[in-house]
Amino acid sequence: MVSIQAFYEDSPILEYAGNPLIEALPPILSEEDAGESLASIPPLPGEERALPKHIRMHCLNRISHLIQPFMIHLELEAVISSVLRSGYIGRNPMDAVTWRHLHSIRGQSGSSITNVTASTFSLIGLSGMGKTTALKAVLNIYPQVITHTRYHGRDFIHTQIAWLRFDCPNDGSLVGLCQAFFRAVDAALGDDIHATHYRTKRSVSSLIQAMEQTASTYFVGAIFIDELQHLNAAKTPGKESMLNFFVTLINTIGIPVIFVGTNAMARLFADVVRNARRVSGQGVYDFKQPDEHDETWNLLLETMWDYQWVQNPCELTDALKATIYDLTQGVTDFLARFMILGQRYAIQSGIEQLDATVFKHIAGTKMKLLLPAIEALRSKDPAKMSQFEDLLPLDDQLEKIMQDDLYVVPTAISILRAQQQKRLGGTATTADSESAANKTAAAQQSSVGDKYADSSKKASSAAPMKVARVIPMSTKIPTASQATNVLSAAGWLVSDPFEFEPAYMTA
CB-based contact 85:16 (threshold 8 Å): yes
Can you give the pLDDT at residue 356? 95
Can you give the pLDDT at residue 133? 92
Q: Strands of 164-167's sheet, edge to edge?
A: 164-167, 223-226, 257-261, 122-125, 284-287
Stated as kind and residue range, the H or E segment containing 345 is helix 332-349
Q: Dihedral of the CA atoms 170, 171, 174, 176 (nearest 10)? A: -60
Interatomic CA distance for residues 456 and 409, integer angstroms: 9
Q: Quick one: which of 175, 292, 173, 141 has its CA closest to 240?
A: 173
Can you give the pLDDT at residue 326? 95
pTM, rounded to two decimals: 0.74
∠ CA 395-397-401, nearest 5°, is 115
Can you give the pLDDT at residue 107? 60
Residue 393's CB is within 10 A of a number of other CB atoms, namely 16
Helices marked H in 155-224 — which ranges? 174-189, 193-197, 204-217
Interatomic CA distance for residues 121 and 332, integer angstroms: 23
- What pLDDT tens digit does each residue of the chain (507 aa) get? 567 999 999 999 999 999 999 999 999 999 999 999 999 999 999 999 999 999 999 999 999 999 999 899 999 999 999 999 998 998 889 887 777 767 766 665 555 555 666 778 888 888 888 899 999 999 999 999 999 999 988 999 999 999 999 998 888 788 888 899 999 999 999 988 888 888 766 677 888 888 888 988 899 999 999 988 888 766 656 677 777 777 777 777 778 889 898 877 776 665 444 554 555 556 788 888 899 999 999 999 999 999 999 999 999 999 999 999 999 999 999 999 999 999 999 999 999 999 999 999 999 998 888 888 888 888 888 777 777 766 555 555 555 555 544 444 455 556 566 766 676 765 544 445 444 445 544 444 444 444 433 433 443 444 444 434 444 555 555 555 566 676 666 666 555 555 444 444 444
Question: Where are the chain's structural domains?
Answer: 3-38+70-287, 295-401, 410-461, 473-506
Can you give the pLDDT at residue 2? 66
β pairing state of 257-261 and 154-161: unpaired
CATH class of 3-38+70-287: alpha beta
